[in-house]
Amino acid sequence: MLTPFQKLLYNGFGSRKVLVAASGPCLRTFDYSSGHIISRWSYLDLDAPAGNKSSDLHDEDDAPPRKKHKIDSGNASDSVSTEILIENGSGRQKPRRNGFAAPCITHLTATADGRHVVIISGEDKAIRVLEMTEEGGLHQFSKRVLPKRPSALTLTPEDQILCADKFGDVYSMPLLGQTIEKASNVDMQDQEPPIDELFKPAATSKTVHTKHNLRILELQQKQKKTKKASTTELQFEHNLILGHVSLLTDIASVRLQTPEGRSRTYILTSDRDEHIRVSRSVPQAHIIENFCLGHEQFVNKIHVPSWQPGTLISGGGDDYLLVWDWRTGTIRDKLDLKSLLAQSQTNTGETTTFPISVSGIWSVETMSGSGSIIIACEKMNGLFTFALSSEGQIIIGQSIFKQLSHNVLDVAIVQHEQRIVVSLDIMHRPGSGEITAAHDHSSFVVVLHLQSDGTWEEMKELIAVNTHAQQTKEVLTESLDPTVWSGVFYNAEHLRKRGPLADAEEEL
Amino acid sequence: MDWSTYYPKFVDSTTTGTPRQLVKDVTVADIGCGFGGLLMALSPLMPEELIIGMEIRLRVAEFVQQKISALRVQHKDDGLYQNIACLRANTMKFLPNFFKKSQLSKIFLCFPDPHFKARKHKARIVSTTLNSEYAFVVKPGGIIYTITDVEDLHVWMVQHFEKHPTFERLSKEEEDSDPSVKVMAIETEEGKKVERNEGQKFIACFKRLEDEPWIE
Ligand SMILES: C[S@@+](CC[C@H](N)C(=O)[O-])C[C@H]1O[C@@H](n2cnc3c(N)ncnc32)[C@H](O)[C@@H]1O
């Protein structure tokens, strides 16, 4: 049996329709129509033994992409999975701190044309661009390692990668950029002063300083003698384009038409400190246009529906969702998720005691120029769905809550069919993070179809995905301990600051 | 943000509703104001402006606010010190929670903590990315004043503001003719300490330019 898919993506590439599923450090692709497995990809296979802690910025893994594990069965419909097991490495790989042989995939997205899939793995700080083969398999095109752990990822309409890190900095880089000798210089690139200058005594004897500062100064002078300058420059093209002083949780790139018919692109960023920022896009990302202020807790997800690009939906640690006119920063509507959830649970007899964390916001556009908004909360076995008026008001239809058998991990949007594929956590008890014995017949994914009345109907499809996931004899290199997986599946609630002490930490 | 308790003499009595509105907006901010020496000196110098000191240390901020209250009582007759106040805030994170776009005409960054270690440079109150937030709250033509006795930090601040397309450094002549510069150099607590030690003071001021036209 496989482990649940913490990330799921629908990717149309040419005539190929592919479901990309991340389970721990592994990606699998399935044929969307038949549900049959196409390929399995893992950087375990590519990377040097992962045992050595790779905190190094210049992880050397930039050799030309190798075609490994090409297990494309050519014609996906000739059923039987043709998986090959990892033949190298695994024996030499020591388990990491997180219990996995390799860092888990935390973000998964694809270019509009479907040709490239971009993934982030948190622990090794790497952004990888993978190329989709004709058959729907994947192979690595590039790997770039950032100085800090990436925490958010998006692609601009021009297919630039925007990624943010847990210290609040946002970088842009070309999708197909390769390792180059020297990082190119652009306006906003934050440069540390040259090393010489850094290690020049930073104060004169006449500087007023505390004992503490004096000690650091002495240390610094000592260091100057012993420490070899370690360059912090990244070996690929990248630009620091903006920054929050807070963990950056989500990022969106939005193109808007002005009334005069000109097109402007913006970058929207959210952070752990309640903020949503609206900046111009590169090369003017140093200009902040606006803030959307109204959350009282961390913001975890922001989403702009394709048919209503002036509207933003945001959620995180608050009990409510907010709908914004993000250009002016005005709140258009507010939805109290907690009371809705309480209502839905009085029907099932369960009660929620844990706080709400919004873990995902998506939308599906309909023909009529509107659409359905889809909300997932951490450890919640169902989805909230509603429509939006053109003024950004929430319209609740027949039912706002779609109950599912297990907690939702991710949602893949199949826009042209007005369907979604929901990835479920069969390892943990519905509605909680408690471990449960997974049943052989539990569904890893379910397909929902948007009905004309705005409700979502469960379809009997992708059965082959579930059958494969349940029955594969594949030898897993991933840890099977469900408590470890809990950390992979549920990480929004960790963003909540606890008590007044959290604030006091700032009092230096 | 409810400013009415900070500037009770400037509450707009013609309107009701909560929070009570002021007759004018705060336009000058002293970021990391410490014990508030600069605020007290600026008060009579800019009687028409509302000036706010922002300090991350709660106790220090409270102390300054008490000192201002006491001064207001002492000066009941001449009505001085009504235009200054101090609040506790981590400005590196929460500046936009206090000010609208283009609200401020002046920001003072006086003797910021130097954070000598390279690893701690992220904690410095000036950086290219933070400067975008200063640009957001300061109106075009507004000025950011910086002063420090740490040359390294001075160089750092100049580099990071000059690299930001929205700021332009003032010339020596412009600096010399700005009365705020003199006050900043002699009236801050840190400035006085440096004076007693006969230390050096490094000054740099930056004008906030108009935003460039959109590249579409
Ligand atoms: C060296 S003192 C200078 C005080 C005053 N400006 C002067 O010149 O006398 C720096 C001050 O900045 C405050 N500070 C540091 N980081 C801050 C932040 N993020 N937000 C607000 N104040 C901060 C410190 O608490 C300290 O009082």
Q: Which value does ipTM take for this structure?
A: 0.96
Model pLDDT, residue A436:
75
Q: Tell me, what amino acid is at A146? A: L
Are A436 and A429 spatial neighbours (Cβ–Cβ below 8 Å)?
Answer: yes
Q: Do B58 and A507 meet the contact criterion of CB atoms below 8 Å apart? A: yes
| Residues spanned by the domain of A204 | 182-230
Question: Which segments of B are annotated as binding site for S-adenosyl-L-methionine?
Answer: 32, 55-56, 90-91, 110, 188-190
What predicted TM-score, i.e. pTM, was given to this entire model? Answer: 0.86
Q: What is the pLDDT of residues B41-58, one digit of tens each?
A: 999 999 999 999 999 999
CATH assignment of B22-208, among 3.40.50.300, 3.40.640.10, 3.40.50.150, 3.40.50.1820: 3.40.50.150
In a domain, A401, yes or no: no
**A482, A427 in Cβ contact below 8 A?**
yes
Q: Is residue A181 predicted with pLDDT exceeding 60?
A: no
A286 with B90: Cβ contact below 8 A = no
Q: Which residues contact B72 (CB under 8 A, 6 or more apart)?
A: B80, B81, B82
Q: Is B2 a catalytic residue?
A: no
Quick one: angle between helices B58-74 and B37-45, nearest 10? Answer: 40
pLDDT for the residue A398: 81
Give the model confidence (pLDDT) of A213-245 as tens digits. 555 556 555 554 443 334 455 678 889 999 999
Instruction: Give the pLDDT mean for A255-273.
Output: 94
**Identity of residue A36:** H
Tell me how far the alpha carbon of residue A145 is from its chain's centroid. 16
Q: What is the mean pLDDT of residues A449-455?
A: 92
pLDDT for residue A479: 57
Binding-face residues of A in 45-84 toward B, CB within 8 A: none
pLDDT at A391 > cutoff 70: yes
Helix (H) or strand (E) holding A217: helix A211-226
CA atoms within 13 A on the CB side of A41: 30
Is residue A46 one of the residues assigned to a domain?
Answer: no
Q: What is the pLDDT of residue B44?
A: 95
Instruction: Note whether residue A149 is domain-resident.
Output: no
Do B135 and A246 make contact, defined as CB atoms within 8 angstroms?
no
CA B51 – CA B30 distance, rounded (Å): 8
Within a domain: A219: yes
Share of chain A above pLDDT 70, in %: 71
pLDDT value for A352: 58
**CB distance B212–A287 less than 8 Å?**
yes
- Contact status of B156 with chain A (Cβ, < 8 Å): yes
User: Which pLDDT score is estimated for A77?
Assistant: 33
Query: Does some domain include residue A189?
Result: yes
| Residues in chain A within 8 Å Cβ distance of B167 | none
Q: Which is more confidently placed, A333 or A70?
A: A333
Q: What is the mean pLDDT of residues A400-404?
A: 93
In a domain, A489, yes or no: no
Nearest residue to A371 (alpha-carbon basis) of A337, A328, A420, A404: A420
Is A293 within a domain? no
Tokens describing residue A482: 């469900």
The pair of structure tokens assigned to A138 is: 């994947």
Instruction: Report the number of distinct structural domains present in chain A.
Output: 1
Whole-number pLDDT of residue A76: 34
For A185, which DSSP code?
A: P
Contact B68, B36 (CB under 8 A): yes
Strand partners, B106: B28, B143
Is B184 a residue whose pLDDT tops 50?
A: yes
Q: Could you tell which of B28, B30, B33, B94 is best to mutate to test the pocket of ligand 1, judged by most ligand atoms within 8 Å of the CB?
A: B33
Domain-located, residue A210: yes
